[in-house]
Amino acid sequence: MARCRAVPPARHRLEIAGPRLANPGTPLRIVHLSDLHVERTTRRERALPALVAGLSPDLIVITGDYLNASYADDPRALADLRALLAQLRASGGVYGCLGTAEVDLPELLRPVLAGAGVTLLDDQAAEWLPAATGLAGRYPLHPRPGRRRRPARRSARRGAARRS
């Protein structure tokens, strides 16, 4: 038997600077949500939209595992997820990518995300000006049959990777 617990929200401030990055002026506020694992609307799901709104995000990014695995094709869970996501608002939009293939079933989640106003990034990128901030999404995380994917190369900075 596995035991899980909800991880309380954390707030982090990250400053990225460098000679190739222009200073856009006002900081960009990004709210990142991940591993929601919705089953039904509970106190946690009811509290989330107000919590996010209180952060005044410019952009909301949701990175997969929207439903719990045992609820991946449950109509009520899908409806509850859509209702939750539809309440999220950000001036620059709400973007998402799919997570674990066994949990995030594309044929079921694509219409839910679209109906909730979430832009699904699937081998796509989005950019915001004037900051020239970019966001890209890829699903599945493993190469598709017949497609060759080169490994990411390490840049001079430790931990940074880029696609070649």
Please tell me the distance from the alpha carbon of residue 52 to that of residue 90, in angstroms, as a whole number. 9
Q: What domains lie within the chain, and their CATH numbers?
A: 30-162 (3.60.21)
Please tell me the distance from the alpha carbon of residue 22 to that of residue 20, in angstroms, as a whole number. 7
The pLDDT confidence band at residue 71, using thresholds 50, 70 and 90, is very high
Amino acid letter, residue 107: E
Is the pLDDT reported for residue 13 higher than 90? no
Here the tokens at position 125 are 């990128």
What angle do helix axes 75-86 and 43-53 make, rounded to 10 degrees?
Answer: 20
- Our measurement of the distance from residue 137's CA atom to the centroid of its chain's CA atoms, rounded to an integer in Å, reads 9
CB contact at 8 A, 53 and 25: no
Amino acid letter, residue 137: G
The pLDDT confidence band at residue 135, using thresholds 50, 70 and 90, is low
Could you tell me the sign of the dihedral formed by the alpha carbons of 34, 126, 111, 108, in that order? negative
- Strand pairing report for 94-97 and 59-63: parallel
Residue in 126, 96, 133, 127 with CA at minimum distance from that of residue 112: 96
Burial, 162: exposed, middle or buried (Cβ in 10 Å; 0-12, 13-18, 19+)? Answer: exposed
In this predicted structure, what is the pLDDT of residue 97? 93
In this predicted structure, what is the pLDDT of residue 164? 35
Is the pLDDT reported for residue 110 higher than 70? yes
In this predicted structure, what is the pLDDT of residue 136? 64
Give the SS3 label for residue 40.
Answer: coil
Amino acid letter, residue 163: R
Here the tokens at position 70 are 């045992």
In this predicted structure, what is the pLDDT of residue 145? 52
What angle do helix axes 75-86 and 106-115 make, rounded to 10 degrees?
Answer: 30
* pLDDT, tens digit (0-9, with 9 covering 90-100), for 72-92: 999 999 999 999 999 999 998
